Amino acid sequence: MTALDATATRRPGRSPYRLVAALLLIVIAGCGGDRRQVDICRRALSVLAEDSQKTDVTGAGGSTVAIGYRDATMTAHRLQCRFEDTPNQDGMPAPREFAIDGRPLTPVHFALLVRWLGLELPESLLTADQPVTRAGFSAAYLMQALLNGLCGGAVLALIAVGYSLVYAVSRTIQFAFGEIFMTGAYLMIILTVTLTGISAALGGASALTLIPILAGTVAVAAALGWTMERVVYRPVRRTGSPLSMVGAIGLSVFLQNAVQLVQGSDNKWIGPVTEGAVVFYQGGDFTVSLSRARVLALLFILVTVLIARRIARSPFGRSWRACAEDQRTAALLGVDVDRIITVSFVLGAILAAVAGLLTVLQFGEADFTMGLLIGFKALTAAVIGGIGSLPGAVAGGVLVGLTQALWAAYFDHAYQDVAVFVLLCAVALGRRSQTQPP
């Protein structure tokens, strides 16, 4: 019998090659560890080393997954993720330790990472003899989340005030403010890069560097606001048609695509303009702090409130309130309605652009699509606070900022935007029930 005949008469399923292949697949699957453990380890790496380049994923035996990666300088590192032998109550792998190059994370950093991953903390970290106690960690963690929420709320409050300024006198929502926010972010990057020579001469970033950046951003935003009102809104304002809203959406699309064509579709980055941090609390391994850039954004809540009070008490504020109540009556009493509307557009555009500037100051990043989502969030803040009310817009911005920060701190951060819009629906339903007759 020839070898060919022997092969043909061999029973199906008994091929040694198939057996070897099956064993290899089992070994390979075992080397990678539990698939869920590998997924958790990869997500942890995306937080601990954002610019990393993954090279390999291996199982180090037992319940340990190791990921080799290279950082931005192409230096090789290894992240080891150790898990408990038994899963948690939800059936998910329970992380026990994360270590980079053999150095474990501190208990607080480990707890924060586990929170970000949406997993449960092991009971070993929540006992009285550990540096992370239930009361201490919860209080410090809550304090940090509240500060982060106030910083985000400050940015949203600026845009929300712009929405309310324009809506009160025009009864239209200018969706283009989201794109003006994006334009302000790009202006921050462009002007910062342009003034790098001045920054170096001043010995690094300083308040003097930010003054021309702020002035240039305000000037361009004012021009955009004036053009928006005169070219897009005023021609259709007296017709009573919804074309003004269509024009605002068209202007939004135009600005977004213009920035994409001029600056490209890649994200733009700059280095830190302000350095250092302000420490509010320090206990054990945990430090509650904010960068100086975020503190500056936090101070703009006060600035926004002062602007709102100044507008309310100034001659422009009285004329603005008259136009918001009844434009025809205000015109009969000598108020220049066209001028009030134009100034409202200009002020709203300036506030939106300054919000974009503060965002880049905090995070150092801008992209041409960033105005869409934050524009809707700011509109949500304005509606929650009572659109047309300037103090309400500030309060709504702070409330939305706190909502998304607290949700991201204690729940899955991927759904923080959903939480904001659920809040909007709840407020709208609550107001509807109040206005309906019994």
pLDDT in tens, 268-298: 887 666 667 777 777 656 678 788 878 877 7
Check residue 160 and give its pLDDT.
92
* pLDDT tens sequence across 195-221: 766 555 555 445 557 788 888 999 999
* pLDDT tens sequence across 170-199: 888 888 899 999 999 999 888 888 876 655
Whether residues 207 and 239 fall in one domain: yes
Structure tokens at 425: 């629906």
Q: Exposed, middle or buried by CB within 10 Å (0-12, 13-18, 19+), for 292? A: middle
Residue 294: what are its φ and ψ, rounded to 5°? -70, -35
* pLDDT tens sequence across 394-432: 889 999 999 998 888 877 777 888 888 888 888 888 777
Instruction: Report yes or no on 245 lying in a domain.
Output: yes
Structure tokens at 36: 């869920």
- The one-letter code for the residue type at 4 is L
Whether residues 50 and 182 fall in one domain: no
- The one-letter code for the residue type at 420 is V
Whether residues 43 and 169 fall in one domain: no
Instruction: Report yes or no on 300 lying in a domain.
Output: yes
Instruction: Report yes or no on 241 lying in a domain.
Output: yes
Check residue 14 and give its pLDDT.
47
Locus of tokens 């070219």: 231
Whether residues 113 and 142 fall in one domain: no
Structure tokens at 139: 């209080």
Instruction: Report yes or no on 224 lying in a domain.
Output: yes
What is the average pLDDT across 242-253?
80
Query: What are the residues facing 78 on neighbouring strands?
Result: 68
Spatial separation of the C-alpha atoms in residues 297 and 287, rounded to whole Å: 20
Percent of the chain with pLDDT over 90: 13
Count helices and strands in the chain by DSSP H and E runs: 17, 9
Structure tokens at 413: 């951060």
Higher per-residue confidence, 334 vs 438: 334
Residue 198 has, within 13 A of its CA and on its CB side, a CA count of 14
Structure tokens at 245: 């809203």
Instruction: Report yes or no on 408 lying in a domain.
Output: yes
Whether residues 102 and 215 fall in one domain: no
Query: What are the residues facing 64 on neighbouring strands?
Result: 61, 82
Spatial separation of the C-alpha atoms in residues 368 and 263, rounded to whole Å: 8
* pLDDT tens sequence across 121-133: 776 665 544 555 5
The string of DSSP codes covering 132-152 is S-HHHHHHHHHHHHHHHHHHH
> Per DSSP, which regions of 223-377 are E strands?
268-269, 277-283, 286-291, 365-366
DSSP assignment, residue 264? -
- 389: Cβ–Cβ under 8 A, 6 or more apart, which residues? 164
Per the structure, how many domains does the chain have? 2
Instruction: Report yes or no on 396 lying in a domain.
Output: yes
pTM, entire model: 0.72
- The one-letter code for the residue type at 87 is P
* pLDDT tens sequence across 94-104: 888 899 888 88
Instruction: Report yes or no on 198 lying in a domain.
Output: yes
Whether residues 141 and 243 fall in one domain: yes
Whether residues 96 and 225 fall in one domain: no
Q: Which of 117, 146, 170 is at the close of a domain?
A: 117
Determine the Cα angle at 254 with ends 368 and 158, to 5°.
60
Whether residues 264 and 188 fall in one domain: yes
Check residue 184 and give its pLDDT.
92
Check residue 137 and give its pLDDT.
59
* pLDDT tens sequence across 317-354: 888 888 888 888 888 888 888 899 999 999 999 999 99
Instruction: Report yes or no on 169 lying in a domain.
Output: yes
Check residue 199 and give its pLDDT.
55
Check residue 220 and give its pLDDT.
93
Whether residues 93 and 151 fall in one domain: no
Whether residues 87 and 232 fall in one domain: no
* pLDDT tens sequence across 42-67: 888 877 876 556 666 766 456 888 88
Q: Which of 55, 84, 117 is at the close of a domain?
A: 117
Whether residues 216 and 184 fall in one domain: yes
Q: CATH number, domain at 337?
A: 1.10.3470
Whether residues 100 and 48 fall in one domain: yes
Quote the domain boundaries for residue 57: 34-117
Does residue 32 have a pLDDT over 50?
A: no
